Structure 1
Amino acid sequence: MTFLEEWVRVCDDKSLGNGEMAGFDHGEKKIMVARAAGKVYATDRICTHAFADLANGIMNEEECTVTCPLHLSAFKLEDGVPQSPPAENPLRTYKVKIQDAGIYIDIG
């Protein structure tokens, strides 16, 4: 089986500060990038429990989590695993690279 990478530039590296999140659309995909403890993460941006935009949620930089603004489920930024109910399903995560002063994610 062959996996194809499709890297997409989502923003300038300098535009995303520590403790910040931003939402982006690519086609039908709604994606969030977040910088916590100096590392950049990318996940789906819509909560798996109910339709809520996680880019409007609350980041806990120490725990590297984002909390849904609607029902307060928290998700690990690294692997998308929910840390609290009511969400039970993980978020999809994306590989991230910083290159040429931009943040890129692999949507392939």
Structure 2
Amino acid sequence: MRTIDVCGEGELPPGEVAVVEDDFVGRIAVFNVSGELHAIEDRCSHQRAWLSEGYLEEEDCAVECPLHASSFDLRTGRPSTPPAIAPVRVFRAAVHDGVVRVELDEATG
């Protein structure tokens, strides 16, 4: 397993998103939903819009795509509304020593 540093813990307050790039995975969006961190692939599975630019639905722990309004569950990556039908990848995000990090298993690079 390897980790990617995203930002300092204080740089990602509740309701905000941070984006990090990885050579193997591409863009990853890390959302702070009421103090819980959720990391997903930052590309809508429908027409490839940046999900990090979408609307964060904190009550549902989801993000709405800015292009066609598909909503993705941040815990599972599954879309709950069309037109998207395919899920996006999810990753584990956590704070270690004051730094927000995304953990990638060997299957994701």
Aligned 1:17-96 pairs, distance under 5 A: 17-28=13-24, 29-96=26-93
Residue segments in structure 2 that go unaligned for 5+ positions in a row: none
Question: Partner of 1:7 in structure 2?
Answer: 3
TM-score by length of structure 1 reads 0.92
What's the Cα RMSD here?
Answer: 0.9
CA distance in 2, matches of 1:42, 1:100: 18
Q: Point out the structure with the larger helix share.
A: 2
Asked whether the 8 Å contact 2:29–2:39 carries over to 1, the reply is yes
CA distance in 2, matches of 1:65, 1:24: 19
Question: Partner of 2:100 in structure 1?
Answer: 103
Q: How many residues align?
A: 104
TM-score by length of structure 2 reads 0.91
Asked whether the 8 Å contact 1:65–1:76 carries over to 2, the reply is yes
